[in-house]
Structure 1
């Protein structure tokens, strides 16, 4: 499993644990700041978007490398033999 998949799974698990903790704190009668909740989900969302951006650049870079190698391999070939 690639490293990025572990990060996505970890962020999902951390968000679930955060939600459970906030619900428990509210159940006990305490108050959790809306700013804390917004900051937490803003942070995890930014991490996922950053990871998606990096992954997209890697895929685009890999696709462009493949195209160049194919073009160079076919450059001198004669189809008729």
Structure 2
């Protein structure tokens, strides 16, 4: 199986895996969760800046992370 290097320079949307420089969406989710685990003050703004996410995407991913971890907003 061929391996391709993912480079994302446009943050206007697009493939989730590509935004996270991951081979699959599952890998992107793991990278996001790992990053979230390391944050003292987890905010959508921080996720937007670090990953180049759109505002709505950052809020959706944070809500999913918190729900999976049982963290209240």
**Greater fraction helix:** 1
Higher relative contact order (CA 8 A, sep 6+): 1
Tell me the TM-score normalized by structure 1. Answer: 0.28
| Pair member with larger Rg | 1
State the TM-score, normalizing by the size of structure 2. 0.30
